Structure 1
Amino acid sequence: MTSLLVFGANGQLARSIAQAAEEVSIECERVGRDRLDLLAETTLDERLDAVLAGKSSCRMVINAAAYTQVDRAESEQAQAYQLNTTAAGAISSACERAGLPIVHISTDFVFSGPRNTPWSETDTTAPLGVYGTTKLAGETAVARANPRHLIIRTAWLLSEFPGNFLTTMLRLGTQRTSLSVVNDQVGSPTSTHELARTLVSLAQMSEYDCPPWGVYHFAGPDTMSWAELARRIFQRAGLDTPVQDIVAADYGAPAPRPAFSALDSGKLQRATGLSHRPVDVVLDEILQRRD
């Protein structure tokens, strides 16, 4: 019997969810593109209904599928909108038809503007680029389609799986004599494993323990720039590669990014007691998983 169904099977978060579910003996089924291509616009509703057929006893559906290539989204707007908005709404609607709750993973990139304290769920959203815009529209689509929803905004995901900032820094840190890293973008580094354990815990909660449906933040408690995070990673990994601070304008990325996108996770912690450990602790865990 499937207890947890996760869309976005091959992503770092979905893989971490599967590990976290196994740790507490919860069956987790992951749905990937080989089974259901969310970028295919035709008959998506029917194919989602087929995936969810017979899953009435499932505790929770988690949508971890997303178009996350922030820079490429500026030139591939149709694909970003299809995956982050249209497909998100379709999954939520299919869950509603099947009588299932949905947890939808969103992003800190729904925020922008000057700030020096972490964003809360009630703060005004104002995404800068296509990625953040399509993710915010996806939140709206999910909420409209299914009243039994939890929208979890997270930030700066790190894991031992390829393709995130940590693994990129470790690779470059062993290849180069120094690195230039942006220091004028600040956020909340978050372990996929901490987020995965929280999502599994939410699935385990009864209807009386589960927080009220709506929007929540879950991110690491430490606030820092990308450059500071790179230094922390090298320190924990025992690398002495120097990190040179640069500004985002010098880096020249195609997509605009928020200068400050740290998230306040207090609402979820107050509702559930679930929280994220400090960045140095989770970096050590991730590095141990790489060994």
Structure 2
Amino acid sequence: MNARLPLTAAMTPTAILQHDITPEGDDYEIVRRVVEKISLDYRDQPSLEVLAEAVGETPTGLQKLFTRWAGISPKGFLQAVTLDHARRLLSEGMPLLEASYEVGMSGPGRLHDLFVTHEAMSPGDYKTRGAGLTIRYGFHISPFGVALVMVTDRGLAGLAFNDAGDERAAFADMSGRWPNATFVEDMAATAPYAARIFDPARWRSEEKLRVVLIGTDFQVRVWQALLKIPMGRACSYSAIAADIGAPAASRAVGAAVGANPLSFVVPCHRALGKSGALTGYHWGVTRKRAMLGWEAGQLGA
């Protein structure tokens, strides 16, 4: 087994921040707390003043910070992606973008999405658990916390998220998927991918993102189905199962969605339970809600 974890004492959140590719890299921690409070208290429709007090910000400061981060105000986010709204969204078959009009958000000026070109490793390659494969990795600040980016010579192979201080756990989780691979810390190799993924201005067809899917045949089929879900829309596990020709396999689809190694890029955050509930997300339901809200902001930009 060649997998190793050469994270040193120097690889602390401070050290990672030295490689910050997002000027507002610290915003996510405040945003995360606001999203968490909204998620818990959405029935009370907390005001901007209440949200600001909860995170130690002034109302004006929070309004500016959150709007800069998401492209919509805290109120717009509350209206767009609370659990109640997500349930209604799916049950009525209403796209998130159309729902945004209903709650008074501005309409879209342009439609962005990750233009992804992907290939899958053969089932035989997957069965070797990464033997002979070199995976380069690096930690980068993203709109959703610290992002662990993993690449091979064929393209992006892994994208995970963690809060500052949990880098080791995130690496152990991801490297354990391909235990026979060789892992090399190489932020110079991963930085261009991180910059491409989180910069909406670069989401265009002439700059496609190269992705390699490493999983079982069934998992790859599910992940390919996820790539078909447009930004601003949601899809149920049962609908995904039907799309891949396995309508009775909703539970297996849910497991494959949970095993997705390319969070955000392969948009498993757009998959919802049958009732429309924002079901469990490997990197945290709060982060899932944040991604949906962030995307709503991009559509309204």
* TM-score, shorter chain, exceeding 0.5: no
Greater helix share, 1 or 2? 2
Calculate the TM-score normalised by the size of structure 1.
0.30
Calculate the TM-score normalised by the size of structure 2.
0.29
Bigger RCO of structures 1 and 2 (CA < 8 A, at least 6 apart) = 2
